Structure 1
Amino acid sequence: MERYAIGVDNGGTVIKAALFDMRGTELAVSSRQTKMHTPKSGYTERDMEEVWLANCGCIRDVVESSDVDIRSIIGVAIGGHGKGLYPWGKNDRPAYHGIVSTDNRAWRYPERWQLDGTADRLYPQICQKLISCQQASLLAWMKDNEKAAYDNIRWVFSVKDYIRYRLTGEAYCEVTDISGSGLMDVSKTRFDRELLGVLGIEEVYECLAPIRYSSDPCGVITNEASRLTGLPVGTPVAGGMVDIDACAVAMNMQSPDQLCTITGTWSINEFISTKPVLGTAIAMNSLYAVPGYYLLEECSATSAGNLEWFIERFLCEERTNQVNLYRWIDQTVDALSPADSEIYYLPFLYGSNRHPLAKGSFLGLTSYHGKSHMLRAVFEGVAFSHKTHIDRLLSVRPAPAAIRMAGGAANSTVWVQMFADVLGFPIETVAGVKELGALGCAMAAAVAAGVYPDYKAAGAAMVSVNAPVAPNETRVGIYREKYRKYEALCRALDSVWGEFAV
């Protein structure tokens, strides 16, 4: 009998579920949008019950639309955006709103910890630079600003650990997520009460669930979850993983020689290592889904989500009139050469890899320019922001033969070529699968079920890679000069952003 697995990918707003066979064939996909609440500038929240029901609806959709025998579904695994906070209360309800990884309300805490020496003191243990959207910062903010909600917390969850808890009734902190939270002694793969005390949140120790790995069995579908999802009671649920690991697993990242870039709301740029790389420009070391490896990550909320904002705000007519909006965008951007547009876009709508208060900006606009120039500037600005991160990674490791790419921009042939030209490396993408985050989670479910002994075997069976897209040498030179100007603009504005509010 054919066997199948379901992977679910929880983005910042969109939730996607997909059903795969054991060869990695994507058989059914469902997506649902959840509402993003922005009660104040710098705040991004979601209703936790809405997120839960949207997950259930996506799973039910793929179960019902696929026509497979539900008894042949060997398991499900949940993935989701990293950082952020989804606290579960002692009253068996959400303790607060779900806080998304683009939230910047707690920006003063990592700044203070850097100034008072806390960050340097904890760095050998947490192996990362503290940032505002991590659970450590958000919990410190909650303690100072939402004390009743803070005192009510029973479990500190990431989004995917929260959804898995609702599916199974069993609370766990899966290691790829929690090792990037600022709450964990990554060097020893454990929680440390003293570490939390240094951050001023010692009581959180009692709210951290047992640690599990991505392919560990972590419970089964309950009666209530079965009613909402259509999955049989007792269907196994694996640990799952943070989205950056899920995409890397789905791109078959198994060797330190490889380098990956992921283009979602966040610009994620990463490689793996058998040991953490400390004391360098690298911002983040976390534990990778493949046991025995660390994931070295350079990231910021400066990627393809900027295009979705532009579409929503400025392409209302095109959204109505264009049969295939994204194809029209590709054609519009491609019709302009990089040398013909001197507009620069800083993709800092949701966060920055520069100053913590930097804002999204178009620079160089004149009355001549229109939507086509602005669209090209958005495409280029996102690619330039990725280059900023990738250059930092390359400062501590040899250059790769190619860079493997996933996320929204990987679905655009124009953007993929632009990444090759801006970065100066061939770009590889995964063949035949659109939902890579869901595929990585389905691979975790397959390993948990014993179909494959490990991710290496699962990758060999379930992942296929397209031929690389080579850089256009003429455009490499043009983009090198444009990136120099982009960096100069960023440096010039770094002295101004402190005058702005969150």
Structure 2
Amino acid sequence: MSRDLLLAIDAGGSVVKATVFDVTTGTSSTASRSVPLDRPAPGQTERDAEVLWEATTACVRELLLRPGIAAERVLAVGFTGHGNGLYLVDAQGRPTRAAVMAADTRAAAAVRRWVAAGLAEELQARSWNGLWAGQPGPILADLAAHEPDVLARTHAVLSCKDYLRARLTGVVATELSDASAGGLYDNTAWAAAGGRGELGLNEPAIAAFGLDALRRLLRAPIASDSQGEVSAEAAGQTGLVAGTPVVAGLVDNAALHHGSGVFDGSEICVGAGTWSVNQVLVPARDATMDSVLGAIRPTAANIALGGLALLCEASPTSASTFDWAISRALTATSAADRAAGRDIYSARLEREGRRRQRRDDPMFLPFLDGSRADAGARGAWIGLSSSNGEDELLGAVLEGVCLEHRRHIERLQAALPQRLPVRLSGGATKSPVWCQRFADVLAVPVQISPVSELGSVCAAALAGVGVGAFADVASGVQALNPTWRVFEPDPATAGFMAARYERYCTVAELLDRLPWEE
């Protein structure tokens, strides 16, 4: 039996997916499982890491039972997963408590104090990252204050994909791109050394967060192409063959970028899912406060393939807001669509595509779970009139998500020599109506791929390079994801949206700084 399959595991904030790619045909098959989130107290967002592992093994077992797929055909396994938050594990890689997610805001008050004390710029100068509550450092500081017994029995702080890889291989390790995304490592010193040598700790961050006694939990990162193998125990749980090569992988935003076929600074990549993710690659040597880093001051940044810096503007304000609107807020029309046997998502989007937009349409601020400026910010519909119904309110949600993406993208564009086209991924790409709205709001061509699992494409390509299936990651991505569709902005609609954007910015800058939490 030929070994011609690559398995990619992608663990997001709410769903874990396993995708098998056939290296000879480029075809793929995906299995997924939802992993519930727990909210044990206001501002706290967690998940049971053991349930995540069980969901992952279930996905792999399901794939291996499908016709034409067999464990013996799997060449290698690659990983990607959400960044930030933290997974605490013992020496065997088992969880010592529930994982804390990146959307968690238990450390928000402490972060505001640190920002007020002027720490944000000092820390960003070394880590490239802004300072926010869902990072490992602030969360770890909070746990040190409130759960010291948990930390006493913890062996390591891991990211999501590194936790799953530890369960698959039995080896506890931290990978470079994930480590560089969390604010606790000194990316600037690494870049100044030409991307050679060990990625060391961000000492001002360790001191600011009071983590000196917890250094033992922070591992020296391994390279993204480092290899391990499926352990005998994990083979029994997943159905994979023991000894199958496992490649370390990349944090999700880097995997998304490279899986979109972008390996330089020629395009902006946009992910429209739970989070609004907007990012661009720059030379690592330019990631300093007196150059591009200081001009953009990105929400997050990390090391990508080729030793480049991936600068990311992000907030929890994207496509999942649409799901909230039709399932929790604007339910009357959804109920009618469901009763008529229509898919509520496609029916609402089709109506929006037919609806004529007006200059006096209401606007929506998608800050349901915070904004870029403040995790405590809250959303709102603005400019309502008695003539508005659910269609206008839902259209405002669709538009508001796109407008907030543009606010992020404008920050990236300000430090670039020219406006760049966009490669779009995430849930929004399933709707031509939404893709066209993105093109009109952003006023640039928007490209989408028929392959939905772009992070998995990169994880599989990286794994394929590790076992000699591809010469490099770029050729692997091209083989697995060769075609893109382009949505061009309509000039008249783009002009209309430009005026709407100016109004949106005026309102958003006021709303996302209101003191909702005291």
Scaled by the length of structure 2, the TM-score of the pair is: 0.91
Alignment of 1:339-358 (within 5 A): 339=358, 342-358=361-377
Q: Alignment RMSD, CA only?
A: 2.1
Matched residue of 1:439: which SS? helix
Matched residue of 1:484: which SS? helix
Report if the CA contact (8 A) 2:256-2:455 is conserved.
Answer: yes
Matched residue of 1:191: which SS? coil
1:332 alignment counterpart? 351
* 2:434 partner letter: W
Report if the CA contact (8 A) 2:378-2:516 is conserved.
Answer: no
Matched residue of 2:224: which SS? coil
Worse-matched range after superposition: 195-204 or 91-100: 91-100
2:398 equivalent to 1:379: yes
2:268 equivalent to 1:245: no
Alignment of 1:109-128 (within 5 A): 109-128=110-129
| Percent of residue pairs bearing the same amino acid type | 31
2:165 alignment counterpart? 164
2:234 equivalent to 1:215: no
CA distance in 2, matches of 1:60, 1:335: 43
Report if the CA contact (8 A) 2:175-2:223 is conserved.
Answer: yes
Report if the CA contact (8 A) 1:180-1:284 is conserved.
Answer: no
Report if the CA contact (8 A) 1:338-1:478 is conserved.
Answer: no
1:197 alignment counterpart? 207
**Per-residue CA distance 1:206-234 (angstroms, 9 max, x = gap):** 112331222221x2111221122111111
Report if the CA contact (8 A) 1:214-1:289 is conserved.
Answer: no
2:493 equivalent to 1:475: yes
1:306: how far off?
A: 0.9
1:319: how far off?
A: 4.7
Report if the CA contact (8 A) 2:46-2:100 is conserved.
Answer: yes
1:471: how far off?
A: 0.1
Gap change, CA 1:494 and 1:297, over 3 Å in 2: closer
Report if the CA contact (8 A) 2:318-2:401 is conserved.
Answer: yes
Matched residue of 2:307: which SS? coil
1:499: how far off?
A: 4.0
Report if the CA contact (8 A) 2:93-2:167 is conserved.
Answer: no
* 1:152 partner letter: R
**Per-residue CA distance 1:442-485 (angstroms, 9 max, x = gap):** 11211121212321222332222323210011111111111122
1:367: how far off?
A: 4.1
Matched residue of 2:429: which SS? helix
1:241: how far off?
A: 1.4
2:193 alignment counterpart? none
2:453 alignment counterpart? 435
1:453 alignment counterpart? 471
Scaled by the length of structure 1, the TM-score of the pair is: 0.94
Match of 1:272 among 270, 281, 285: 281
Gap change, CA 1:92 and 1:173, over 3 Å in 2: closer
Gap change, CA 1:27 and 1:494, over 3 Å in 2: closer
2:64 equivalent to 1:47: no
CA distance in 2, matches of 1:468, 1:176: 30
CA distance in 1, matches of 2:41, 2:392: 31
CA distance in 2, matches of 1:146, 1:308: 35
Match of 2:304 among 270, 289, 292: 289
1:488 alignment counterpart? 506
Report if the CA contact (8 A) 2:457-2:477 is conserved.
Answer: no
1:408 alignment counterpart? 427
CA distance in 2, matches of 1:477, 1:220: 54
1:398 alignment counterpart? 417
Structure with bigger RCO (C-alpha 8 Å, 6+ apart):
1
Matched residue of 1:375: which SS? helix
CA distance in 1, matches of 2:300, 2:182: 11
